[in-house]
Structure 1
Amino acid sequence: MLIVAYDEAQILDIACPSGAFEAANGYGAAPPYAIELGTVGGRGVRSSAGIGVGGGRRLAAVAGKLDTLLVVGGPGHEKAAGDERLVAQVRRLAGTARRVAAVCTGVFVLAAAGLVDRRRVTTHWRYSADLAARHPAVAVDPAPLYVHDGHVYTSAGVTSALDLTLALIEEDHGPTLARQVARELVTYLHRPANQAQISMFLAAPPGGDRLVGDLLGHINGHLADDLGTRTLAARAGVSPRHLARLFARHLGTTPARAVRAARTEGAAHLVRSSGLPLAAIARRCGFGSAETLRQAFLDHYGVTGDRIRRMPDMPPPRERPGAQTPGT
């Protein structure tokens, strides 16, 4: 496992994969991951946070077969993609690697090396249009958290590096070890590849309405609590009618429908990432019964919880803002 870094790299892009692979070793990954940092000249690099990261292997000195080559992203990606020495070494090393990965804007380096032409990739949503414009031969999909196309893996911004790494660990050692690593890192869940980078429930509302944004954060963090419209309005210090107007204006939906969708999506992720029975998941996510949750899955995804558990990827929601749905 060789992680390629450069000046002005995002330190989380380095820490998330290396920390997750280290945790996998602690839980008995066999064979264990040998984690190394590689840079041009083997020198240390300065992260975008100003924190120095000690040097590792000199890229030109790395020889033999690699298991995984991973290029990190960060504000320095443009300069890195224009560094002929770095790009040439990444191109050479990719030819020896079982798989090649990029976190966030690290894909710009892969693109500069010609490694993702005619491949589907993703990157941080903010840079997707730029990537597509600079590299028209690359199929850029700005929506998913990560994409797997052949032996190439790319991820969206920053913390999605952890989701990608958990997927790689699961591919190598199975879901049990990946779940142990997720628990060790105290991450809520292993988000599926096709979960949108920006969902209507986590993104800042159009117009920058802080009240709505704060309530969405509260909803997602307190799914089992009383999230009725009156309770949410009281928390926000507005009338229920005014709260309904704000949700309609900024999200195109009602408070009750936003709560129901958030609870349903949270429950779906627990179905996929835990062995809890449906009744326990229903309680944790604020549903009155397992039957109510089953109906919510059918309304939101068009499939049952058992089907969601068996599917290789999370099904896309079929609900859309503005449609009528039952209350929570």
Structure 2
Amino acid sequence: MESIRHIACLAFADVMSLDVTGPLQVFASANDERARQGLPPSYGIHLLGPEAGPVKTSAGFALMADRAWREVDPASLDTLLVPGGMDMQIQCRDQELLDWLRSTEPQVRRFGSICSGALILAAAGLLDGRQATTHWSDVEALSCHEGIEVTGDRLHTYDPAGQDGDPHIFTSAGVTAGIDLALALVEADLGRPMALAIARRLVLFLRRQGGQTQFSALLTPEPCRTPKLAALLAWIPANLGADLSLEALAAQAKMAPRSLSRAFAQELGVGPGKYVERVRLEAARTLLQDSQASIATVARLTGFGHPENLRRTFHKHLSVGPQEYAQRFGRPTHN
């Protein structure tokens, strides 16, 4: 029988509630999915506060901490997550907490932060010599710590293979990126089909890999009757910059072009070309909403190539150009 992986998240006064509940819900949903399959749970989920009991969040309501973090044996934990909050300076100056985090780090398999929680890890010296990201508004503050390679355009810095990130100590970008990080952790533990099942169950966008720019692609549709088509739909969002012509898609799916077109029409009600355009448009919209890149960069990353192609697609589907869309719906930038 598989052993339970114990996942813990810190909580403190004015913690960002979604930083805590979003990632933990992913692990809880993994247990739910396994129960539907007649399998035992994979995760034990714990909330650790300054003391056991209610912890007020920045939203005004309280979360209930199971135990005080100082009372927990770090060796009993598989993964520890540190969330962000409203006034991170208080946590960053809490020497008892920082000492506990430093002593905990070598005893847990995975140690990560959500959003501005990266500032706490930085204050504890745990990000020295490492790559890190955080919420876009805290990138400058994180950059004040020497010895940290800050990358503001990453979704998260977790990579189980250790090639484009770190399997042990890692960070994630703003708020909902913690959900993406949790999905990546579950995928490493239980496989991509489980991560996809959780994303569908929670009606989430399954995002691209952590090392790529922070934007969401379309949620993989409900399972298709054609397994090769289902695999292709999961592959497309992570390869938007590649050749996604009918011939290239057919080669990827190992299907004849005519058979692939027929499968798209029968199961999705749309042809391959229109489907790819829709996924690319959604990805471009999210990048522009997050104010993460220029129009030219968005066009390149999402496979439109030239900005004019992006502009025409926006006008076709949204009756507005990408520049105006970014001005209407993008996050305000800071001087």
Taking structure 2 as the reference length, what is the TM-score of the superposition?
Answer: 0.63
Q: Name the counterpart of 2:49.
A: 39
Q: Name the counterpart of 1:170.
A: 187
Q: CA separation of 1:190/1:319 partners in 2, compared to 1, >3 Å: closer, same or farther?
A: closer
Deviations 1:266-302 (A, max 9, x none): 9932889xx9x96466899997x436778999xxxxx
Confirm or deny that 1:290 pairs with 2:272.
yes
Q: Which amino acid aligns with 2:201?
A: E
Contact 2:52-2:64 within 8 A present in 1 as well: no
Contact 2:78-2:109 within 8 A present in 1 as well: yes
CA distance, structure 2, for counterparts of residue 197 and residue 270 of structure 1: 12
Taking structure 1 as the reference length, what is the TM-score of the superposition?
Answer: 0.64
Contact 1:267-1:282 within 8 A present in 2 as well: no
Where do residues 208-287 of structure 1 align in structure 2 (5 Å cutoff)? Answer: 268-269=236-237, 279=261
Deviations 1:43-84 (A, max 9, x none): 432110111111222111111342001001121322111111
Q: Name the counterpart of 1:146.
A: 156
Q: Name the counterpart of 1:180.
A: 197
User: CA offset at residue 196 of structure 1?
Assistant: 2.4
Q: Name the counterpart of 1:112.
A: 123
Confirm or deny that 1:23 pairs with 2:29.
yes
Structure 2 residue matching 1:38: 3-state secondary structure? strand
Task: Tell me how large the CA RMSD over aligned residues is.
Answer: 3.8
Q: CA separation of 1:282/1:8 partners in 2, compared to 1, >3 Å: closer, same or farther?
A: farther
Q: CA separation of 1:285/1:196 partners in 2, compared to 1, >3 Å: closer, same or farther?
A: farther
CA distance, structure 2, for counterparts of residue 142 and residue 271 of structure 1: 21
CA distance, structure 2, for counterparts of residue 319 and residue 146 of structure 1: 25
Contact 1:9-1:73 within 8 A present in 2 as well: yes
2:104 is aligned, of 84, 93, 96, to 93
Percent identity between the aligned chains? Answer: 32
Where do residues 45-124 of structure 1 align in structure 2 (5 Å cutoff)? Answer: 45-63=55-73, 64-124=75-135
CA distance, structure 2, for counterparts of residue 80 and residue 172 of structure 1: 30
| Structure 1, unaligned runs of 5 or more | 203-219, 222-264, 298-314
Q: Which amino acid aligns with 1:79?
A: I
CA distance, structure 2, for counterparts of residue 156 and residue 283 of structure 1: 38
Aligned length: 246
Deviations 1:209-232 (A, max 9, x none): xxxxxxxxxxx99xxxxxxxxxxx
CA distance, structure 2, for counterparts of residue 158 and residue 51 of structure 1: 17
More divergent stretch after superposition (43-52 vs 116-125): 43-52
Q: CA separation of 1:6/1:284 partners in 2, compared to 1, >3 Å: closer, same or farther?
A: farther
1:160 is aligned, of 161, 166, 177, to 177
Confirm or deny that 1:11 pairs with 2:23.
no
CA distance, structure 2, for counterparts of residue 327 and residue 284 of structure 1: 28
